[in-house]
Amino acid sequence: MRRAARSGFSLLEILLAIAILGGSLAVLSSIAVTGATAASEAADLAVARMLCETKMNELLLNSEIVPLPVPQIPVEPDSVPDSGGLARFQYAVEVQPAPLQGLLAIRVTVSTEELNNSDQPLVQYSLIRWMVDPALGLEQLERDAEAEAEALAEEAAAAADTGGDI
C-alpha cells in the first residue's frame, strides 16, 4: 500500500521549531537586559563625572582657603543633573600633601549609594588635582613682590620727572 502525500508538519517538527524559537528569544532577552544595564551604568557614570567636576571646581574656586576633608556625604537631589536615572549619589573629599613640597593633592570621589554584590558602589568616579598649599602664603608673597615692584617703578618715574635731583 502506498501512503498518501503529506500535507502538513508533524508534531515533532512543530515542537522542535518552538524550542529553537524559545532558545533564541531567551538569548536575545538576556542580551537586551545586559545592554539596558550597561546603558544605565553609562548614564550614571556621566552624572557622577559631572558632579565630581562640579565639586572639584567649588573647592578650587577660592585658592586662598585650604580645602577640608569631607567624609561620604549624600549629594542633594537639586544639584544632580536631570539624567532620567534613579541613582542617588554621595561624595567625599580627601586632602593630602602631594609628592612635591608645597602642594596639596585633592581627591574628590563621587559614587552611587547603591552597592553591587561585592559591596562596591555600582558607579564610582574620582578626580585628583594638585594645588599650591595656601598655608604657605605664596600668593601673599607674590602680591607683596608685585606691590614692591610697582613702588620701585613709581619711585623711578618720580625721579625721572624731577630730572634725577633729589
> Which CATH number fits the domain that encloses residue 107?
3.30.1300.30
Beta strand 124-132 pairing with 89-97 = unpaired
Task: Show the domain range for 137.
Answer: 12-145
What pLDDT does residue 66 have? 78
Nearest to 67 by CA among 100, 109, 96: 96
Residue 152 is assigned to a structural domain of this protein:
no
Indicate if the pLDDT at residue 80 is higher than 90.
Answer: no
pLDDT band at residue 64 under the 50/70/90 scheme: confident
More confident residue, 3 or 7: 7
Residue 157 is assigned to a structural domain of this protein:
no
Is the distance from CB of 75 to CB of 110 less than 8 angstroms? Answer: yes
Residue 137 is assigned to a structural domain of this protein:
yes
Residue 5 is assigned to a structural domain of this protein:
no
Residue 158 is assigned to a structural domain of this protein:
no
Residue 50 is assigned to a structural domain of this protein:
yes
Is the distance from CB of 106 to CB of 59 less than 8 angstroms? Answer: yes
Residue 38 is assigned to a structural domain of this protein:
yes
Residue 151 is assigned to a structural domain of this protein:
no
Count structural domains, the chain. Answer: 1
* pTM of this structure: 0.66
pLDDT in tens, 100-143: 888 899 999 999 988 888 989 989 999 999 988 887 766 667 78
What pLDDT does residue 145 have? 84
Q: Name the percent of the chain lying above pLDDT 70.
A: 88
DSSP string for 56-81: HHHHHS-TTSPPPPEEEEEPPGGGS-
